Every structure is written in C-alpha cells, then in structure tokens.
Structure 1
Amino acid sequence: MRILVVNVNTTASMTAGIGAQAARVAAPGTEIVPLTPRFGAESVEGNLESYLAAVGVMDRVLSYDQPYDAVIQAGYGEHGREGLQELLDVPVVDITEAAASTAMYLGHRYSVVTTLDRTVPLIEDRLLLAGLDRRCASVRSTGLGVLELESDPERAVEAIVAQAEAAVHEDRAEVICLGCGGMAELETAVRERTGVPVVDGVAAAVTVAESLVRLGLSTSKVRTYAPPRPKRIDGWPLA
C-alpha cells in the first residue's frame, strides 16, 4: 500500500517531519510518500494562503506519476479536500477530520490546540462543515506561527501544553487534538503533561487511510464528489 502525505505549505523540513510521523504509525507494508507543493506559501495561516495551498496540493498530487492507494491532506482546517475527492478515485483523508473523529472514540468532548488565533475560525468552520463540531469543547490558539514550531520547539511545547491544560480544566475537554500538521511528534510531551489522550492528525489520518484501503472503500462518485465535468478551463495551472 502506498499513501501520499501532502504538506500544505512549501517548507520542506516540515514535510520531512510530517512524513516521519506518518511512517512511524504506518503498518508494515505501507509506504509513506511525503510531498511538498511546487508553489505556495512557506506557512499557511489564513484564507488566502489556504486557498492557494488547495490548488498547490492538487497540482502536486496530479503531477505524481507513480501508483498510489490513498492521499492525506496534511493541513489543519485547510480548504481543498473536496476538490481532491472529485479528482481522485482513491480515498482522500484530511487530518482535521481524522483527528476529530478519532478523538470522539476516546472521550465525550475534545478540544483543538492550534497556532495563530486567526486560524481558529478556519478550523471551526471545517469542523462544522464535517459535522464534527457538536462535541468540540473549544479551539484554542497558542499564538505561535507555524514556522515557530520548528524554530523554537521548547517554547512551542510549553505554549501547546498551557492551552491544552486550559482546555481540560476550563473547557472540560477530555481529549486534545493537535491542530497543525507541524505539531507532529509533539503528542507524547503534551500527553505526559496533561494526562489526557492526545491525537495527532497526521497519525490519525494514516490509520484511517489504511483502513479504507483495506476495506476496499473510496469516495462515492454518484453525486457530490462526482468527477469534474469536461469543459474548457482557461489558464488551468494544474499539472
């Protein structure tokens, strides 16, 4: 089984970290292929960058010329999953939805801890659209930029733990979701400090994707995610 794990930003070191996290939880026989978009922002922290990332991710997947069995969009609260589902015949898993749905197996309510406050509405909207908002206790911001997760990991852990503890004690969350693909590898430190289950979206998405492939299931094509209708698209930038 081969799974493409596509970073939504163009920071190659973050792609490597996401790929390493995915490979750690992948079952024997599953090959993880981490991909970086060929264009886009170095970090995705708002609507403009998110819409640009959606096109960049689709372009990168369509330009991959080897067989694959599933695709993971490794961006929290980002746009584009629906477009991928129209374009592809294999399962497409978004880390936002994979993390939240996994968290609901582990506790009554979950909270998401993310980066900048401006990304909170994007995540809230994504959870609402996916029907996963009802059991979300809160979406909390650390105030950190995405790239700070790499440049200052000790500060990042402290900021994430502080918000996770507040979510548990103030918002009554029973599970924490790490709300950024760049937070991969931090779940152990947060779990040890908070005492509650911590779900990393990349890891959760890998196990969901593997399950769908093993079950022989993929996106329904009869209505919402039917293939795009053939038509002329002027200036089409995708591969």
Structure 2
Amino acid sequence: MRIVVTNCNTTQEMTEEIVRGARAAAGPGTTVLGLTPAWGPESAEGWLDSYLSAAAVMDALRTYDGPAYDAVVMAGFGEHGREGVRELVDVPVVDITEAAAHLACLLGRRYGVVTTLERSCGQIEDSLELAGVGRNCVAVIGTGLGVLELEDGERTEAAFLTAAERARDAGAEVLVLGCAGMTGLQRVVAEKLGVPVVDGVGAAVKLAESLVELGLRTSRAGGYARPLPKRRAWGRDPGQGGHGAASRGHSG
C-alpha cells in the first residue's frame, strides 16, 4: 500500500517531519510519500494562507507524476481543500483534522484541540463543524506559537502543556494535536496530563490504511461526484485545463 501525505505549506523541512510521523504510525506493508506544494505559503496561518494552500495542494496532486498511490492524507490541520481533493482523485482522502476528531470521539465524550496561533482557532472550529464532529469539541486553544516556531521542541512542549491544561479545565477528556508540526508530542503530553492525546497525522494514516484494506473509496453519488468536464486554467498556466494528471496518481 502506498499513501501520499500532502504538506499544506512549502516548507520542505516540515514535510520531512510530517513524513517521519506518518511512517512511525504506518503498518509494515505501507509506503509513505511526502508531497510539498511547489507554490503557496511557507506556513499556513489564517484564512488567506489556507485558501492559497488548498489550491496549491490540489495543483500538486493534479500534476503529480510519481508512483501510483492508494490513498491521500492531507496534513494541514483545519486547512481548506479536502472536499476538492476528494473530487479530484480516485482514492480515499483523509484529512488530519477530522481523523483526529473522530478518533477522539471514540476515546471520550468531549475533546479539546491545542493548536498554534489564536487566529487559527475559528478556522479549525469551522472545519470540525463541517466534518460533523464539532459538537463534541469543548475548546480550541492556541499556544501562541507560529507554525515555523515549532522546531524548538522544549518551548513547544511547554506552550502545549499550558494550553492543554486550559482545554482540560474546560472539560476536555481527550486532547488533539492541532498542527501536523506537533507530531511526536502526544506521548509526553499524555503522560504528564493523564488524558489521551491524539495526533492527527497518525490517526489519518491508520484510517487511510483501513479504508484501503476494506476496499472503500469516496462516494461519487452526490457531493463528491467527479468534477464536470470543462476547461480550467490553473494560475499562470492557462494551457492546462480539464482534470489534469490526478488520475495517474492512483493504483487500482
């Protein structure tokens, strides 16, 4: 089985970190490939970055010419684009936001999300509502750290713990890492706070594997029907239209 994990920004170092987390969660028969958009924001923090990132990720998948893959994991927490990607490719698409929330709902009645900057909280809340798992979320708390500041492990852990305590005090029985760049914190934080902590990257990889193994794919009846055939100009590349190269990316 081969899973493509898409970073939501252009920072290659973050893609590599996400891939390491994805490979740690993947089963022995799963190969993980990281995909970094060729253009877009260096970090996704806010509505403008998110919409730009969504288009960039879809463009990266549209023009993908690597080995065939069986599923896509979208590693942008709260970022836009998952519905469009489900129209675009013919394999299961799992977003780390909803994957983490769904697993959290299996572990406790209420969960909380700890993320980066406060400006991302409303966007994450909207994403959870759209995925149908917002009702069980008691709080989305920012650490005050930007995405590119998460490289400082000690500082990130301290800020996460402070925010996580606020979420727990608000009634969260389970915590969710609200950024792919936080992957790896879950074990340390769970031990210190005494509650389960779900990493979205790991959750999404395991759900993607399950969908593939069960032979399940995105429904084409209704909202996720294939895009209508028409000319589509992508950015400054008006010569390429239609569905692009996405259909080459899947196996089976």
SS in 1 for 2:191: helix
By how many angstroms is 1:234 displaced?
Answer: 3.8
- Cα offsets for 1:108-164 (capped at 9, x unmatched): 1000000000000000000111110111111001111000101x2211110001111
- Identify the residue that residue 180 of structure 1 maps to in structure 2: 179
2:95 maps to 1:102: no
- Identify the residue that residue 62 of structure 1 maps to in structure 2: 62
**Aligned-CA RMSD value:** 1.1
Q: Distance in 2 between matches of 1:16 and 1:142?
A: 23
By how many angstroms is 1:59 displaced?
Answer: 1.4
By how many angstroms is 1:63 displaced?
Answer: 2.2
- Identify the residue that residue 226 of structure 2 maps to in structure 1: 227
Q: Distance in 1 between matches of 2:227 and 2:234?
A: 16
SS in 2 for 1:93: strand
- The 5 Å alignment of 1:61-80 reads 61-65=61-65, 66-80=67-81
- The 5 Å alignment of 1:172-211 reads 172-211=171-210
- Cα offsets for 1:76-120 (capped at 9, x unmatched): 000000000001110000000000000011111000000000000
By how many angstroms is 1:35 displaced?
Answer: 1.1
Letter in 2 for 1:96: T
- Identify the residue that residue 112 of structure 1 maps to in structure 2: 113
- Identify the residue that residue 218 of structure 1 maps to in structure 2: 217
Q: Distance in 1 between matches of 2:22 and 2:205?
A: 6
Q: Distance in 2 between matches of 1:222 and 1:159?
A: 44
- The 5 Å alignment of 1:25-36 reads 25-36=25-36
- More divergent stretch after superposition (36-45 vs 57-66): 57-66
> Any stretches of 5+ residues in structure 2 without a counterpart?
245-252
Q: Distance in 1 between matches of 2:234 and 2:18?
A: 32
- Pairs aligned (count): 237
SS in 1 for 2:107: coil
Q: Distance in 2 between matches of 1:211 and 1:134?
A: 25
Q: Distance in 2 between matches of 1:59 and 1:31?
A: 22
SS in 1 for 2:139: strand
By how many angstroms is 1:166 displaced?
Answer: 1.8
Greater than 3 Å deviation, 4+ residue runs: 234-239
Q: Distance in 1 between matches of 2:138 and 2:176?
A: 11
- Identify the residue that residue 126 of structure 2 maps to in structure 1: 125
Letter in 2 for 1:231: K
By how many angstroms is 1:233 displaced?
Answer: 2.4
- Identify the residue that residue 48 of structure 1 maps to in structure 2: 48
- Identify the residue that residue 17 of structure 2 maps to in structure 1: 17
Cα gap change, 1:96 to 1:235, in 2 (>3 Å): closer
- Cα offsets for 1:178-198 (capped at 9, x unmatched): 000111111112112111100
Q: Distance in 2 between matches of 1:231 and 1:36?
A: 27
SS in 2 for 1:225: coil
Q: Distance in 1 between matches of 2:58 and 2:234?
A: 15
- Identify the residue that residue 248 of structure 2 maps to in structure 1: none
By how many angstroms is 1:64 displaced?
Answer: 2.1
SS in 2 for 1:199: strand
By how many angstroms is 1:235 displaced?
Answer: 4.8
Q: Distance in 2 between matches of 1:235 and 1:36?
A: 17
SS in 1 for 2:106: coil
Q: Distance in 2 between matches of 1:92 and 1:164?
A: 29
- Cα offsets for 1:161-219 (capped at 9, x unmatched): 11111211x21111000000111111112112111100000000000000000000011
- More divergent stretch after superposition (198-207 vs 59-68): 59-68
